[in-house]
Every structure is written in C-alpha cells, then in structure tokens.
Structure 1
C-alpha cells in the first residue's frame, strides 16, 4: 500500500535550510512544499523543525483533552516562532492560553494544573526568560512527587528556544541545559532534527514527570524527513548520527549539525569521526556514550553552553569513571567561551563554538595537531 502524502494546514509555512559557512549559522528561504515522491522513489515527507513541533502539539492535543498550551503570545500571535500556528482556531482559548508577561505566574499556575490531573505545555518565549520561573520549575515541579510521598505526579512540559541566535547579546543567547539537567526530578531533552523534535515532544507530553524540551533557536527553519503517523522517540535514548572509527564527537541539540560539518571536513583528511547525538540529557544514555568511546578510544564533547559545570563536564566524568582503560587520549571539550555573549558580530563568532575548533580538538586527541 502506498502511504499517502502528509497534509498540513495551509496556514503553516514551509522553509528550506541552508548552511552558509563553517560556523553554526542558519539561513532560510521560503519555498513550496512538494509531495514526498520523486518519480517512483518513495521517501518520508519533509517538515521544518517548527512544523514538526506543531504537528506533535496538534496530535497530542487531539489525542488527550487534558493537554493544553500556555504562555506569552501562544494564541493570537501563534507563538514567537509560530510553533503554535493554527492551534487557537483549532482548540479554542480554554486550551491555548495567552498569558501576561509573568513567567513565574503561568509556570506556577501550570504546576497546580498538573497536580489535579491536567497536562500543561508551558512555552517560554526563550529559555533566557525561564529563569524568572525557576522557583516553580525547581522547587515545585521537580520536587512535588518526592515531597508528596508519591501522591502527586507533575505531568507537564516546559519548552521553548535556547542558545545563541544572531546578535541577541548577553541576556538572550544563553544555553541553560545544564542548569535544568542538574536537578533531580526533571527530565531534559534537546532535539536536533525535525524527526526528533516531533518524537521527543510527543514522548515528553505523555511522560508523567516534568520534562524540559530545549529547542535550538536557529533550528526552527531546518528541514528534515519526519515519519508519518505515530512517531515517538523514547526519552533517555541517544542516536548515532554518523558512524566512525577514529574519534567520537558527542553532542546535543543545534551542535549536532556543527559536529556533522566537522566530521565531513575531517573525512577529507582520512579521519572517520563518529557523531553521537545524546538527544536526552537527563536521563542520559550512558551505554551509548560508553559504546562509542570503547569503539573509537578518543572523544570530545561539543556543547553550546559555558564550560564550567556544563553537560560536557558530566560526560567527561562518566567516561573517565567507566571507560578510562579504553582511552588513548584525554577527553576534550569544545564550548562557548567562558564569557557573557558579546553583541558585536565578530566577537559573537569568536565566543561561539565553530567547525574549526571541533576539527582542531579532534586532531589534538588524534595527536595530529
């Protein structure tokens, strides 16, 4: 049986993704959507990252009446990045709730809703603003199951964009994954592709614990194949994006694409780099990390956040404790510089991880620098 082409609401735009240089920049160009058949060849349909998230929201809200979306401008404005486009018309203002500019207020309201059996999806316009709600995320959502002796699950999602975009400066360019992954009681995922964005968000909505979904701010226009139908990606399961034998580049989120670019450049020098996308930062797929390191005997961790107490520090510690005898070189990290993000474009590019820094780190662990 031929699968039918995916049909989307006409209000949802389509985009194409172009990588323009060796840094992690993304440009977009509006384009027409095509059928997923080219001649007789059969392939999965393509969606943008934002469309995949939108589709996950639609499917889960249709599946479960207890699911609702809440946040600033998620309704009338369709969300800051148009992820919730069309949802207000489809589900009404009781399930797509516009709020005042009060992250602490609507996060706390949502924790209470989760305590009485609803499944809130809280959208932060950016995770930089989520720190205003950290009291409710850390002290209420993360701890309620434990402090109530198992009486109250908190089945809710906190989602929104994270990381640097283009010259948004120090207060709007932070990658805060490690802040949330540090706390027991919270699950944290960082999808890098449209397929993972849809599958992880659907799994997060169905999970009975609070889940933080960190969406790369420059990924919303990225296109990729997404399976039709019921597509779930389990939390806590990494994905091998590229196989290799010489060095493991372990990473997550937007940096996956930087890692793949670096692996392509290394291949020209005869180096086969493996790219492991964690996808889930807590719970962590330790088995996948160790399997890759035991295979290549060398590893680097690439992340967009700061180096001090970052996700990479945890990964390096895990490798040192569990796979030290397999290492032929120290594990290195490539991160943002340990400074607030500059506004000036040239300084921003210096502060952010880039392909050349990843290539140089791989050469160092291979003793080729």
Structure 2
C-alpha cells in the first residue's frame, strides 16, 4: 500500500515521467547501497536467513527461493546486494553483449499504467562482457545465485552471432551460476532468427563445446545453459526449439521474453510504439507457453516462467502451469519490492 499509493505516484512523476530516467536513478541508488562497506556480506546473511522451505535446487544450483529478477533490470550487475536484501532468490544480470553498445535511441521505455504494462525497445544497452566480468571479479562471491543473460552485439552480423556469444561466454564463464541465451528479444534486428533450428543448433553446439572443454580442464561441472524464447512462437516452432534443446543437453527453458503483439492494449495511445510489451497483457500467453512446454518436454526439463507476474496468485498459476522458478520485472515496477517476499512465501 505504501508503495502503490504513495511512492509509485511520486516515482512515476519524477523527471517529468521519463521512465528510463526513473529506472537509471533508482538503479544508481541501489548500486550505491550495494557498494557500502559490508553490503555484500549483509546480503549473504539475509539470503542465508531465508526460510529453508523456500529453497529449490535445479541444474546443480541451489536457489534460496523461487523468485528471480528477470534480465534487463540490472544489465551491468551493479546492485547485487540490494536485490538480495529485497528477498530475491536469484538475479539474472544482462542482457550483456560482447561489444559495448548504447542501445536504441531514446525515448525507449513507455509505461502503460492503465494496463500494468511496459513497452521497451532498449536494444541491449550495456557496458559489455569484459566490464561485467571485471565487476563480478571485484564483487567476489555474490550474495545470491547470478544468472547471466547473453545476447548478440548489434554490430555482429547473423553469420557471426555464434562467435559473438562465445566471446561473451568465455569472458564471463567464471561468474555465472547459469547462462541464459537471449535469442528472443525483439529489439535487436535479426536476433529472433537465432531461434530457428539451424542457427540455434550451431550456437548451442559451439557453446557446449567450450563449456565441456573448460569444465574438463578444471575438473568441474559444466555451466548450465538455458534458452529464453519468445511468446510469439507457434507451437510447432516451440516444439522445434525443444528438440534442439534436447539434442544439445540444454539445462532449461526461460519462457517468455516480451511480445511484439499488442493484445489487450491496442486502444492505448502508446500501443503503436515499437518494442517488446511486458506486464499483465503478457500473462495469459506466458502461461500458455509454459503449459505447452511442460506437456511437450515432460516433467524433468526445468522451466523458468516469466511474464505478467504481479501477485502471489499469478506466481502460483505459473507454477501450476509447470514452471519450477519464476522471474519478475514489470511486476516489481508496479507493485514495489514488497511483492518479492509475498510471492516467495506463497511458492512454498
């Protein structure tokens, strides 16, 4: 109530309502809090103090609870201690690319409050894989599991996409609890073509070859690789992705990314803005996709469900559809940090 009735109206009016300026300022404050002496240690203590009944272990990674922060909120991994203090069970940093890139021109984030939705066309703005690796090295052991979302640099042509992803994977190998391959953002031209069988198979084969080689040299377990898919894929296309995933020993699926559809918001003045739509309008489709994946892949393939999760009931619906873990993004913007612990408790 405090957030939705008092803080959110103030935040949404800050900087003239510029959604990206609000995001940047909030993240800067969280980053400063995370850099205070003892913040990382305090984050680990708070994580360890979570109710053990909340925990889940999937693909060899123990998650203190089932609620994660989706990629896109903390692209450069600057606020890990703050996310732990909020009660998240894991964080997905990125999406990070091999090359430093500013992303698409501003404005590129648009709130649709009447629909609890956001349209963004950020375009993987980030400081690059080398910078993220340096920050993670300085951080040391993070206070909670960190997934790293990998994307294609805009300047890399499609035929060089595999090399681009592999460069980022090598640079960040030591720092990810798992790696998510973002081949489904609508905001990098041609990126979604990587969901096609031939492109995806080539990419996964190359990454798994690196994964096996490094793990064998170090006598360690290979890093879990997950694939993040678009909600706009047909069932036939999803089935094809699942076949490729099975062929290459992928550890799980993240469903779903933002949608290029405008179902439920077509009447909004901002609906014509280019970019991916997230929030409540995505919820029904995300549930459909998760339900289909669980039915097609069987009970053993781990699924991280994301899309339109705002309340404990939304999270439970996603779990009942077949998700093992969930991630939130737009729900955090509209509901505030208290939603994390409410959902985590409901997921026991």
Fold match (TM-score > 0.5): no
**TM-score, structure 2 length as denominator?**
0.35
Greater share of helix residues, 1 or 2? 2
Which has the greater radius of gyration? 1
